[in-house]
Amino acid sequence: MKVHVEIDCTPEEARSFMGLPDVGKANDVYVEMMSNAMKGVSNTEQLQEYARQLAPMGQAGFKLFQSFMEGANAAKSSPKKPDK
């Protein structure tokens, strides 16, 4: 027997139902801190250093961010193909 349950609720309602804390204010502070740190960034190395210092997931998060930045840098460097 299989039972499928679909619940239609907002993320806030789901978080409250599951007993998880509201981290909205902490997220706002983190985003503001990241925004302020990124204002002085002029190259990829500086951006990676800031990410290493501020990354909430430590080394694993930094590796993910680093691969994202390398992919973005490669996409920027490659010649653009014309649309068909």
Residue 77 pLDDT class (50, 70, 90 cuts): low
Q: For 39-59, what is each residue's pLDDT tens digit?
A: 777 777 877 776 677 666 666
Q: Which domain holds residue 47?
A: 23-75
What is the reported pLDDT for 1? 92
What residue type is assigned to position 14 of the chain?
A
Residue 10 maps to a domain:
no
pLDDT at 73: 73
Gap between the Cα atoms of 56 and 27, Å rounded: 11
Q: Would 1 be classed as within a structural domain?
A: no
Number of separate domains in the chain:
1
Is residue 29 in a domain?
A: yes
Q: Is residue 4 part of a domain?
A: no
State pLDDT tens for residues 7-32.
Answer: 899 988 988 888 888 888 888 888 88
The answer to whether residue 67 sits within a structural domain is yes
For the entire predicted model, the pTM comes to 0.39
The CA-atom distances, in angstroms, between 76 and each of 5, 19, 41, 69 are 44, 43, 17, 10
* Domain-located, residue 17: no
